[in-house]
């Protein structure tokens, strides 16, 4: 059986949804239109829509070496073509008004790695970090990601001239 692109995409969506929804206050939806990202992650408050969200770009490969090379700290140095694709996506979405995460999956092991393309800072600003290395997705990463996004929204609300 040949594994096709649509199969990899569908499986990446499923794996990302499982990992992200380990956090109880998260609802994941697929992007219906071609916005340049694959998933929208909505953070709820008391099971109600809060307006807080971030986006995710998914990359799936059959094996880890299709994503990159394992380096120190269980991180993955991304392959040059993946760096180019993610950099192009980040550039195209440089005005995106909310955080943007990428997740890469090695389908033979279900291993996940991630990094920020529009990183939420505690100052309420978004940073466009250089894309070279991805961190491993651990059993607590979903908590750290949601905490970072929540902190970013809270800082934006405290900034002078903030609306709402």
What pLDDT, in 10s, does the model give residues 13-41? 999 999 999 999 999 999 877 788 999 99
DSSP E strands, 25-160: 26-30, 39-45, 48-61, 68-70, 76-78, 100-106, 111-120, 126-127, 133-136
Residue 164 clears pLDDT 80, i.e. is over it: no
Q: Which CATH class is domain 5-158?
A: alpha beta
What is the average per-residue pLDDT within 59-66? Answer: 94
Please state, in angstroms and rounded to a whole number, the distance separating the CA atoms of residues 42 and 39.
Answer: 10
How large a percentage of the chain has pLDDT more than 90?
80
What is the pLDDT at residue 161?
A: 62
159: left (phi over 0), alpha (psi -120 to 50) or beta: beta
What is the distance between the alpha carbons of residues 122 and 55, in angstroms, rounded to a whole number? Answer: 18
Alpha-helix runs per DSSP H in the chain: 5-20, 80-92, 141-158
d(CA 42, CA 24): 11
Please give the structure tokens belonging to residue 125.
């600003």
**Range scoring the smallest mean pLDDT among 4-13, 102-111, 113-122, 134-143:** 4-13
pLDDT for the residue numbered 112: 97
Helix-, strand-, coil-residue percentages of the chain, each rounded to 5? 30, 35, 35
What local confidence, expressed as pLDDT, does residue 106 receive? 95
pTM over 0.85: yes
End-to-end CA distance of the chain: 53
Compute the C-alpha angle 62/117/106, nearest 5°.
Answer: 10
């Amino acid at each position: 059986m040949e594994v096709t692109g649509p199969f990899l995409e569908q499986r990446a969506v499923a794996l990302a949804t499982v990992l992200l929804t380990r956090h109880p206050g998260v609802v994941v939806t697929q992007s219906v239109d071609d916005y340049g990202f694959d998933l929208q992650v909505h953070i709820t408050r008391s099971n109600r829509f809060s307006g807080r969200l971030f986006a995710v770009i998914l990359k799936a490969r059959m094996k880890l070496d299709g994503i990159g090379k394992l380096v120190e700290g269980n991180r993955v140095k991304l392959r040059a073509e993946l760096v180019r694709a993610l950099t192009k996506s980040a550039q195209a979405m440089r005005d995106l008004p909310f955080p943007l995460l990428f997740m890469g999956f090695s389908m033979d092991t279900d291993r996940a790695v991630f990094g920020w393309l529009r990183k939420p800072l505690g100052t309420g600003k978004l940073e466009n970090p250089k894309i070279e290395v991805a961190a491993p997705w651990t059993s607590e990463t979903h908590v750290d990601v949601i905490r970072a996004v929540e902190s970013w929204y809270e800082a934006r609300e405290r900034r002078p001239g903030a609306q709402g």
